[in-house]
Amino acid sequence: MTRFSDEAWARIAGLRAAIDRLPFITELTAGTLRRDRFQTYILQDALYLGQFSRALAIAAAKAPDAATLQSFAQSAVGAVTVEQALHENYLKAFGVAPETVAGAEPAPDCLAYTSYLLATAHQEGWEVLVAALLPCFWIYWEVGGRIAREAAPGNPYQAWIDTYAGEAFGEAVRRVIGIADTAAAATTPAVRGRMLAAFVQSSRYEWLFWDGAYGQRGWPI
């Protein structure tokens, strides 16, 4: 049987190509992304990460055995720690105080994505939740690696690029991919189908998040 990760990755081939074409990604690669757009993104991503961490904690609690719980928790916490450090550095550079982050309101795209993940965490089983969490790891690693290969010299966003293209983040991503594959191999075809649907849905939210940050999309009313 085809590995879950191979099938899921192929399922979002068109979406991955669309992510690569996003102005946020192309301009970040070129180093021409406006600072205010990147600042909007970093602030929203900090808010996102707070809720994403909660979904990760629920996933660890739902793990089928102690070994998987430990492996998943270590991988997830390691990746989140790397991202949190990146956010803190950029927000400090932008002069954004911690209390400003705490009092900030999530934009529609951020709220929609985190609400979906938390709903999945509470309403679905372990396998579907892992699949829903996977795109945030995997797509960032893929995008970070591609940008690292193509980035303009002296890119002002090099720290962001280095974080997601780095081996430490990649190692965590590979572990989560492996955990998702193991979960899918041990479950029923029906649950595997729900895993694929969750993976696709989260991948759509990844596109939407970057698109919303670029357009600085807020609440219409």
Alpha carbons 178 and 168: distance in angstroms, whole number: 16
For this structure, is 206 an active site residue? Answer: yes
State the pTM of this model.
0.93
CATH of residue 22: 1.20.910.10
Q: Which of 124, 127, 136, 142 is catalytic?
A: 136
* In-domain check, residue 88: yes
> Into how many domains does the chain fold?
1
Which tens digits make up the pLDDT trace of 64-96? 988 888 877 777 777 677 777 877 888 888 887
| Cα–Cα dist 205/51, whole Å | 14
In a domain, 22, yes or no: yes
pLDDT value for 69: 84
In a domain, 220, yes or no: no
pLDDT tens digits, one per residue of 23-45: 999 999 999 999 999 999 998 99
pLDDT (average), residues 119-125: 97
Instruction: Express each pLDDT in 1-25 by its tens digit.
Output: 799 999 999 999 999 999 999 999 9
Say whether 136 is catalytic.
yes
Two tokens at 34? 């406006």
> Token match 């893929």: residue?
142
Q: What domain range is 168 assigned to? A: 4-214
